[in-house]
Amino acid sequence: MKAIIFGVTGQDGSYLSELLLEKGYKVVGVNRRASTNNTCRLEHLLDNKDFSLIEGDVTDFINVSSIINDQQPDEVYNLAAQSHVATSFNEPVHTWRVDAEGPLNILESVRRYSFNAKFYQASTSEMFGKSVDQDGYQRETTQFEPQSPYAIAKLAAHHKVRIYREAYGMYACSGILFNHESERRGEKFVSRKITKWVAEFKNWLNDENKPFDAQIDQDNIISVMHPDRTFPKLRLGNLDAARDWGYAPDYVKAMWVMLQQEQAEDYVIATGTSRTVRDFIRIAFDFIGIKEWENLVVVDPEFYRPAEVEFLHGDYNKAKAEIGWSPETSFNEMVKRMVEHDINNSKKCQQNTTLT
C-alpha cells in the first residue's frame, strides 16, 4: 500500500507517518520548500527506506496533480493547512488558499488521475463555532456556525469532500477532529505554550538552585532573590475558553481507520470531555508542584481573538459504534507527557523559539 500525506511535517503528519510505516505502507510525504529545516518532527524517519519526501504546495494545482499522477497512491491524507485560528484573522486570503483551495486541488487531482485512491480530509471542530446541541455536545449532525476565516475555509473544504463523494462516487471522507495535542504540538497553540513555559520556568528555578519562593513584582517579571535573575510571566488570552482536548497519536489512528471502511463517511473524533484553558494551566503547574499559579500568569488582550469559539465538547459515539474508535490517553496523562518532554528536551526541535 502507498499513502501520500500532505502536511507531513506537522504534528499529525509525523504521527500518521509512523503509524502507516508500522502497518507496512510506503509513505510519500509532501513538504513545502523552506529556507530553514522544517523536518525536525520527521528526523527519525528520514532513513526509513519506505519513507520519502517530495517538495510540494497544495495551493499549486499543477504541482499537486503531477504528484498524484506520478505516485498513483492507494490513500491520500490531506493534513496540510494554515492551522492557527488566530493567524487566520491576520492572513485570511492565505488561509483560504491553503485550507479551502488546497483540498480542492487534491480532490480534483485524485478524481482526474487516481480515481480509486481513498481520500481523507482534516476537518475540524472549529466548524461548529458557536453551535452546540441542546444536550451540550457537538456531533456530525450539529449545525455549523464558523467563527473565523480558518473555520470558514475548512467548512468549504468539508462540503467539497461531501460533494466529490456524492457526485462522483469517490471514497472521500472528513474526520471532524476536536483539539488534539502532544509533545510535537506547535508552540503557538495554547497547550504547548503553557507546557513549554511551565517547563522552562521549572528549569530556570532549578538553575537558580532555589525552591519556589520567587518575588513577583509589578513589571510582570518573576525574580528569585536577585533583581537581575528574572523570568517573564506567562502571557495568555481567554482563560475561560473550553476545549475537548485529546492526544494526537490516538487521533491519527482514527484517520487511518476511516479509510479502511466499505463506504466513506465523516466522523467526529473527540474525548467527550471539555475543559477550560484555566484547567489546562492548573494541571500543568500541578506537575511541577505549584498550586498557586494565578500570579505567574498575565491575561493579555493581545492574545484575545476578534471572534472566539467559547465551547467545544464532542460526541464521538458514531465513531465508537461504527469504526470502533475511542480515545486511549487521558487528559492528565497527556499534559504530564508534554510537561515532562518540555522539561527534558527544551532545546530540541524548536519550530518557534518565541512564546507568541
DSSP 91-120: -HHHHHIIIIIHHHHHHHHHHHH-TTSEEE
Q: Are 11 and 251 in contact (CB under 8 A)?
A: no
The entry of ligand NAP, ligand GDD, none near residue 236 (CB within 5 to 8 angstroms by kind) is ligand GDD
The entry of ligand GDD, ligand NAP, none near residue 101 (CB within 5 to 8 angstroms by kind) is none
Tell me which residue has its CB nearest to ligand GDD.
241
User: 1: burial class by Cβ within 10 Å (0-12, 13-18, 19+)?
Assistant: exposed
Contact range with ligand GDD by CB under 6 A, out of 100-108, 190-198, 210-218, 335-343:
190-198
Pick from 17, 105, 121, 125: which binds ligand GDD (CB under 6 A)?
A: 125
Is residue 91 involved in binding ligand NAP (CB under 6 A)? no
Pick from 34, 46, 216, 349: which binds ligand NAP (CB under 6 A)?
A: 34
The entry of ligand GDD, ligand NAP, none near residue 127 (CB within 5 to 8 angstroms by kind) is none
Residue that is written with C-alpha cell 522539561 in the block = 343
Is residue 308 involved in binding ligand GDD (CB under 6 A)? yes
Give 189 or 293: the residue with its C-beta nearer to ligand GDD. 189
Distances (CA, A) of 226 to 206, 208, 215, 220, 231: 15, 10, 9, 15, 11
What's the rounded Cα separation, in Å, for the pair 352 and 187? 6
Strand ranges (E), 125-259: 172-177, 180-181, 215-216, 221-223, 230-232, 234-236, 242-243, 246-247
How many chain residues interact with ligand NAP (CB under 6 A)?
A: 27
Q: Report the DSSP beta bridge partners of residue 297.
A: 234
Contact range with ligand GDD by CB under 6 A, out of 1-9, 101-109, 120-128, 164-172:
120-128
**Residues within window 234-263 making contact with ligand GDD, judged by CB under 6 A:** 236-238, 241, 243
Q: Are 253 and 19 in contact (CB under 8 A)?
A: yes
User: 165: burial class by Cβ within 10 Å (0-12, 13-18, 19+)?
Assistant: buried
The entry of ligand NAP, ligand GDD, none near residue 193 (CB within 5 to 8 angstroms by kind) is ligand GDD
- Let me know if 230 is a catalytic residue: no
Backbone dihedral angles phi then psi of residue 26, each to the nearest 5 degrees: -95, 125
Reference 164, options 22, 288, 264, 309; nearest CA is 264
Q: Minimum CB separation from ligand NAP for residue 158, in Å?
A: 11
Is residue 192 involved in binding ligand NAP (CB under 6 A)? no
Pick from 53, 153, 177, 268: which binds ligand NAP (CB under 6 A)?
A: 177
CA 352, 239, 180, 28 torsion-angle sign = negative
What's the rounded Cα separation, in Å, for the pair 154 and 122? 8
Q: Minimum CB separation from ligand GDD for residue 209, in Å?
A: 30
- Let me know if 126 is a catalytic residue: yes
Q: Which of 9, 95, 124, 142 is catalytic?
A: 124
Q: Which of 15, 120, 137, 150 is catalytic?
A: 150
- Per CB under 6 A, residues contacting ligand GDD are 83, 85-86, 124-126, 178-179, 188-191, 193, 236-238, 241, 243, 277, 303, 305, 308, 312
Q: Active-site residue numbers?
A: 124, 126, 150
- Per CB under 6 A, residues contacting ligand NAP are 6-13, 31-32, 34, 38, 57-59, 79-83, 98, 122, 124, 177, 179-180, 186
